[in-house]
Amino acid sequence: MKKIFEKIDQSRKLIIKLQRELTSRIAIGPENGGDGEYNKTIYVKSIIEKLDPDMIKEILVPDKRVSIGYRPNLIAKWQKAKDKPIIWILTHSDIVPPGDLSLWSSDPYKVKVEGNKIIGRGVEDNQHAFVSFYIAIKSIMETDKDMLKNPTGLVFVADEETGSEYGLKYILENHNDIFKKEDLIIVPDGGNEDGTMIEVAEKSMLWLKFIVHGMQCHASTPDRGKNSLYASAKLITQLVEILKKEFFLQDNLFEPSYSTFEPTKIEENVKNINTIPGKSIFYMDCRIIPFYKLNNVFNQIKNIANKVDNELSIKTEIEPVYWLEAPEPTPINSPVVKALSKAIEKIKGKKAVPKGIGGGTVAAFFRKKGFPAVVWSTVSDTAHKPDEYCLISNIIEDAKIFAYLMMH
């Protein structure tokens, strides 16, 4: 084990190389204007095959919106013959767009290394996880294969950032022979800076699209129209203020402990300044503690919109974009929580803390099917931000924790 950990400690150059290769293979889904995850997944398959897995399988989900015609998912397994629960590490291939390029200090798709820091889109979300897994399994297989005491699997999925319809959700619904209830499933797609938080629960998620219909006119004669942008602003203000008061209960398992209601994206309406817009579209991201049912939240949102509609003589359509009722949490005394907690204490010398989060991860799909999955990683919390980065030292330490789980 000492030799394996020494090999992991000496992985800096390989980590940088992997991050550079992964980042350059842009994996953005069609919902965000990309052509999917094919190139990235093919690269991952090529390097995984060299580590002599007992099984490697591709699950190709048809999608006519991408040039290759499908979204690729990859599953690899080592020591499949051993009659023990499998330790699964699930990472995702897709990334989000970089956003405003002026906020980046360098090209998002060309990694920049500053000491312990690697900067680039996707390096933390979710390449950090894959690289840690890869370094761990590679160090074991190239040092002493017999040290791999537990069956170990990698799941490399598409479409995590936009709903998982072409990724894990599809796999769970169409390939029910892959995972077992006794397996230890870890999703390294969230955590905290010291790597002590094990996420065992998530809030319910509700993403909504609001289409506000007014009447377009010249900006100099606003009384001849109905300003959909003004109506949107008023509706947003009402939604945030009323929903926070109405759904005020807190649950200390979660961080933050309260429900959140945040307006996010707004679509372009008129192109010129001197026109009153007659149609405006905006979106809202709601993360609800499981005490509240999404139907009740949605009905209250409709009531608020109706009142604003009546007051301003406009019409608002509300369309759910994403609706996920929170599944039952993973028990804090489950084998996966116990095993991961032990590994964290052994490697980091710190006590792990089970927590719930507001962010959505694919662990929710596992829990909904009755698989007690956890989310864990040592992260700098830069996902989706400009100059997203990860720390090489965190990748190395996480690799040691994965290796410890594989060997004990």
Please write the tens of the pLDDT for every residue from 293-337: 999 999 999 999 999 999 999 999 999 998 989 998 999 999 999
The set of catalytic residues is: 94, 160
pLDDT for the residue 81? 63
Token readout for 210 is 């609001």
- pLDDT at position 357: 87
* Regions of the chain short of the pLDDT cut 50: none
pLDDT given for residue 96 in this prediction: 97
Residues written for the chain: 408
Question: All domains of the chain, ordered by start, with CATH?
Answer: 2-201+327-407 (3.40.630.10), 204-324 (3.30.70.360)
129 neighbors 188 (Cβ within 8 angstroms)? yes
Nearest alpha-carbon partner for 171 in 383, 371, 372? 371
Model's pTM, two decimal places?
Answer: 0.82
- Residue-wise pLDDT for 67-97, tens only, equals 999 999 999 999 866 789 999 999 999 999 9
Planar angle of CA 126, 132, 137, nearest 5 degrees: 130
194: how many CB neighbours lie within 10 A of its CB?
A: 11
* Distance, CA of 123 to CA of 112 (rounded, Å): 10
Burial class (CB in 10 A: 0-12, 13-18, 19+), 24: middle
